[in-house]
Amino acid sequence: MSTATEQRTFDSVNPASGVVVGTHPLHDAEAVRAAVESAREAAVWWAGLGFERRKRRLLDFKAVLTQNLTRVATLIHEETGKPIGDATLETVLAITHLDWAARNARKVLGPRRVSTGMIGINLAATLEYLPLGVVGVIGPWNYPVFTPMGSIAYALAAGNAVVFKPSELTPGVGALLAELFAQSVPERQVFQVVTGLGETGAALAAHPGIRKIAFTGSTATAKRVMAACAANLTPMVAECGGKDALIVDADADLAAAADAAVWGAMSNAGQTCVGVERVYVVERVYDDFLRELTERARAVRGGEDYGPITMPAQTDIIRRHVDDALAKGAKAVVGGAESVRPPYVDPVVLTDVPEDSSAVREETFGPTITVRKVATVEEALEKANAVAYGLGGTVFSGNARRAMELARAMLTGMTAINSVISFAGVPSLPFGGVGESGFGRIHGADGLREFARPKAISRQRFAIPGMNLTSFSRTPADLDRLVKVVTFLHGRRKS
């Protein structure tokens, strides 16, 4: 970042090469205020378009994004270091979510009649979901298109304007998204980007004109953002870290489970909030599974199959977790302390890791995985649920019924069965966590409702003689009739 106050810019850097990718404004609180104020005006116009006209513009944005897919993926690659293929995949997933949000907003949020019950037989009741106004989105660097678009697309489809603060590591990607959106919606500044460091995000969260914040990042940072939101009682969606577990049942397809574990743990250099960090394997198949896993993990190479650790400080955390596990008696069957070679980390597979070690309890966010033998799937479930995080999880089993029972019992927001991270690619499924993994949901109908406010309307269609209950002219006879009706409807006990 420039030390000259008048310049107020900072650079994004390719973490693999150290080459400067771009230079961006360091937006201060005044710049954030101006963005939010213009967004408030745009929000009124955008909401007034209604579902169909917004849908047409969002589908046009989808087309523009698709036409520029290579450009977007290339910039993701440059700012994060991840392979072009992975950058392309995340952009494609973002496109599918944008399409779903645009096409389903009216069905999920539009006005509908709801039942009034016998007591309200003379009423008509309507429920609809109205835009909030301006939504602030604070995005991460690990999936700089897919993750924030899970909030941006759904907030826009719900009728809100959006001010997006991308990570300081990937500001160019955020700026490019806003540039492409403006090609589809040039009339107003419905989607804007402010770039900068933590102070920029704090200013966005603290602005009284923001009606909701959607945040993705660490649990510690989420708490600071919540503190900033508290001043104005601004509600928040928080998608924080994870320590996801994969359970391998005795009748699982071991080759498929091992392949999924390696991808879930190593893809994107392990920098995935719903990545696999822990594996619990039923004793009967443990040795066979471990053989499959280590064979695959040894074939994966940092810097070739996946990119560098995007945030340099994360390598210290990865090294600390590996060192702590080994010091406590764990065995490195693939890699080890020497695998940490900044900016890359080669695959690390650890066995016999104590459950109280940092490698099991804390988010590592690197291409490492712990594998533990358990007597039963019930023990696996108990250990999987024993951490403070609860974002995603995975179950591999040949028994569909038992797999569903395990999936339901995992204390997570999402669980994949006989696949890994597959829920993220289904636009109709909500995405979010419990515990220290956060709260609120993006994606799906729940994600659309997250960025809207329910509006309930009741209308009296006709008066009921002798049932004027909400008036000072009410008589004892009116109440007596009410009691008789309620007793008839609700007074009989069920055997």
Three-class SS state of 342: coil
Pairing of strands 340-341, 344-345: antiparallel
Measured CA to CA, the distance from residue 442 to residue 121 in angstroms comes to 36
- One-letter identity of residue 472: F
From 263, 250, 275, select the one nearest 398 (Cα to Cα). 250
Measured CA to CA, the distance from residue 98 to residue 183 in angstroms comes to 16
DSSP string, 401-451: HHHHHHHHHSSSS--EESSSSGGGG-TTS-B--EETTEE--BSHHHHHHHT
Q: CA dist 226 to 188, 207, 214, 399, 447, Å? A: 29, 13, 11, 42, 19
Percent helix / strand / coil, the chain, rounded to 5: 45, 20, 35
Measured CA to CA, the distance from residue 442 to residue 152 in angstroms comes to 10
* Catalytic residue ranges: 239, 273
- State the CB neighbour count (10 A cutoff) for residue 33: 16
Measured CA to CA, the distance from residue 149 to residue 152 in angstroms comes to 5
Token representation of residue 193: 């980007």
Three-class SS state of 452: strand
Q: CA dist 346 to 46, 270, 291, 301, Å? A: 47, 10, 18, 6
Query: 345 and 309 in contact (C-beta within 8 Å)?
Result: yes
Query: 139 and 433 in contact (C-beta within 8 Å)?
Result: no
Pairing of strands 191-193, 134-138: unpaired
Q: CA dist 69 to 47, 94, 306, 425, Å? A: 28, 11, 20, 17
Q: CB-based contacts of 64: which residues, under 8 Å, 6+ apart?
A: 180, 181, 183, 184
